[in-house]
Copies of this chain bind each other. A is one copy, B any other.
Amino acid sequence: MKTTHARLADGREILYFDETDDAVRVLDDPRDMPPVATNAEVRYDALLDEWVAVASHRQTRTFLPQAQDCPLCPSRDGRRTEIPSPDYEVVVFENRFPSFAMGAPALPPRPADTPGTDPDADVGLRRRAGWGRCEVVCFTSDHDSAFAALTPERVRLVMEAWVARTQALSMLPHVMQVFPFENRGEAIGVTLHHPHGQIYGYPFVTPRTRVMLESARRYRQRTFRNLFADVVAAERAAGIRVVAENEHWTAFVPAAARWPLEVHVYPRRQVPDLPALDEAERGAFGPLYLEVLRRLDGLYGRPVPYMSAWHQAPVRADRDLAYLHLELFSPQRAADRLKHLAGSEAAMGVFINDVHPEDAAARLREVIL
């Protein structure tokens, strides 16, 4: 495997990941581009005890371009894209429209529009620079492909890119959690069709992760055991919601699934993040995950929209409590129906699932591959 590092015309980093050590990539980016200007900031919500990102420069981002204008295809036939090379296998580069960026301008701790009140009772606007990192991961140079159509060898290469970027982003100042994910399907708001994912380096531990770690902390206090490990063991013992497994990975519909299609994928061994996976585990992921994706797409005989999210431990905390896993979910609730988040979900956080998790698991197992 070979990694080739370069910079785009505006100074953003780009990294090519190739299966063979003799791959040669064109690195020069002759485009005339101004440097990325970002006003990313984060704001603290005192009621929900969470940070929210505000990134108004993203409003102008590329939206569903025609295939011939795709910025994620390689640069060919005189057309310049985000990837200067005329071909690639897997490539990672910094997003030109980032939600978080190391170059975000510093903000005064107390802006003029917050009146000076009792500092103990300070609930006015609290904002910080949106420091962090947002990267794009292209899984293939083939515009019309999909993750589910990759070879296991290519997934292995994508895995190496995720591992390398998790390591790199974990070293950046301010980054507290690294989040590789894929959104697939126009129905869930994907703005570029080319098969790609993203990696976020957040300047805080995400709300979802914080809640899970608090549950795991209470559970360990009570039982001396790891909550995630016991959940996986219970699912494997019950079996009824298991969709697929191999020597190193288990995929199951969670007992309290929120989405009509939802599959969680755990390694057999408790590890905090992707870099902690060993060779055998990295290699075994692709075949298992591809099977899950193909079962999903087999349900209705066509690709379903989905989100796929790697849950990794925080960079510098609770690495013994956390348990690397992937959560995949789709809003497809019937052949012609999507689940929308309505008032109960969006306003109150109460999910209402129209599909029994056991039925979803059975249907996924029954798909003929």
Contacts and interface: CB of A to CB of B under 8 A. Distances in A.
Interface of A: 43-56, 58-59, 63, 99, 113-115, 117-118, 120-121, 123-126, 179, 181-183, 188-189, 198, 200, 202, 206-209, 211-212, 214-216, 219, 222-223, 225, 227-228, 230-231, 234, 237-240, 254-258, 307-309, 311, 327, 329, 333-334, 337-344, 346-359
Given A49-B211, A52-B352, 8 more contacts: A43-B357, A63-B337, A117-B230, A120-B223, A179-B343, A181-B343, A207-B349, A208-B347
A121 to B, nearest CB: 5
Contacts of A215: 46-49
Contacts of A344: 53, 99, 179, 181, 200
Top 10 A-B pairs, shortest CB-CB distance: A189-B340, A309-B347, A207-B349, A181-B343, A45-B256, A206-B348, A43-B256, A125-B255, A124-B234, A52-B256
Contacts of A311: 347
A237 B113 CA distance: 9
14 contacts: A47-B211, A50-B256, A50-B350, A52-B256, A53-B353, A54-B355, A55-B352, A58-B352, A99-B352, A113-B239, A123-B230, A123-B234, A183-B342, A188-B340
A215 to B, nearest CB: 5
A124 B239 CA distance: 11
Nearest to A310: B347
Contacts of A240: 113
**Total copies of this chain within the assembly:** 2
A264 B211 CA distance: 25
Contacts of A359: 56
A264 to B, nearest CB: 9
Given A59-B354, A256-B52, A342 B188 contact: yes
B352 A115 contact: no
Contact of A114 (B118, B223, B238): B238
Contact of A348 (B59, B121, B208, B349): B208
A258 to B, nearest CB: 6
A99 to B, nearest CB: 5
B255 A350 contact: no
A62 to B, nearest CB: 13
B189 A123 contact: no
Interface centre among A181, A223, A352 (most CB of B within 10 A): A352
